[in-house]
Amino acid sequence: MDAVLEVSELTKRFGEVVANDRVGVRVRPGEIVGLLGHNGAGKTTLVSQIVGLLAPDAGTIRVAGVDAVAQPGQARRSVALQAQGQAPLDGLTPRSAIEFAGRLRGLSPRDARAGAVRLAEELDIGEWLDRRAMPDGGGISGGVRRLTAFAMAAVAPTPVVVLDEPTNDVDAARRRLMWQAVRRLGERGSGVLLVTHNVVESERVVDELVLLDRGRVVASGTPASLHGDSSELRLELTLHPDGTDPSEADAVPFAVVRRVRAGRRALLTIDAGNAERAVGWAASLRTADTVESYSLTPATLEDAYLALTSPDADLEASDV
């Protein structure tokens, strides 16, 4: 099946900083591809090139068969974008903003109105549908503004939908509704590029993942393929503020597949056969007040993601 979005060897520099380093991404019709990366990984720079706001220094972008570098205006007509920042809704109601977006995408007035109502129901924002957004941030909350921006991108069918951190500011209940709506975009045939740093939630909805770190693609594949060995467990130690990290010592009494430090958390991936020894060791650390708490759970995609994108990934996660 031909891709509706194909990015190949894309490179973008800002002076000495290489924001995108030979990045490749492919999205097929009906497929949801997650682009995961920390803040500053180069995700939004990539999106800006896809929609024609920036020109790449090298590489190619094809959107619905159109060369987006040579013909950015034509390519942009095949892309619906929810940008990372809040949409400029001041003075508008969610209803009028969604209908206006639909009309711009070629919907009839009737279909635009019906689409606004349908999405308001799907996202549970009906009570704010006719409330006007005010310049001082009043009228509707940041979360409702974010959901409105998503609805503006989703109201009319397009070959490609790009969602840049769509769930920012959205409460937990409506985030779940939004993820369901994202899945429906794929089911209706759009290719979706989902840009996010929320590994846990996005894993449930995407078909493929591309992990971006410091401008480079460090891994790609299905969530299952990136997850790693299903027999692995994660031992998580919560450290005291400014406390020592006992997992850095050579005295860990079992083999560690990989180790990642994330703030006050030390995340140790271990084989299931070492579970009893790991719990005993962690319990002794807690009794001695060396750590605040510990937990042992099945390893997740987040573990592989953190290992691949940690500053010491080449040293600590060479086996991933």
Model pLDDT, residue 319: 30
- The structure tokens 């060369």 sit at 67
With beta carbons less than 8 A apart as the criterion, state whether 238 and 265 touch.
Answer: yes
Sheet of 258-262: strands edge to edge?
258-262, 265-271, 232-239, 291-298
Phi, psi of 158, rounded to the nearest 5 degrees:
-140, 155
- Lowest mean pLDDT segment, chosen from 32-36, 83-87, 270-274, 306-310: 306-310
3-class DSSP state of 193: strand
Q: How many CA atoms lie within 13 A of 29 on its CB side?
A: 10
User: Distance (Å, rounded) from C-alpha 38 to C-alpha 132?
Assistant: 34
User: Distance (Å, rounded) from C-alpha 225 to C-alpha 231?
Assistant: 14
Name the more confident of 316 and 56.
56
Model pLDDT, residue 314: 38
**CA-to-CA dists, residue 244 to 267, 268, 278, 288, 317, angstroms:** 14, 15, 18, 13, 22
User: Distance (Å, rounded) from C-alpha 9 to C-alpha 17?
Assistant: 17
Model pLDDT, residue 1: 57
Predicted structure pTM score: 0.81
Q: What is the mean pLDDT of residues 163-168?
A: 90
Query: Residue 123 pLDDT > 80, yes or no?
Result: yes
**pLDDT digit string, tens, across residues 272-315:** 899 999 999 999 999 999 999 999 988 777 777 777 776 554 33
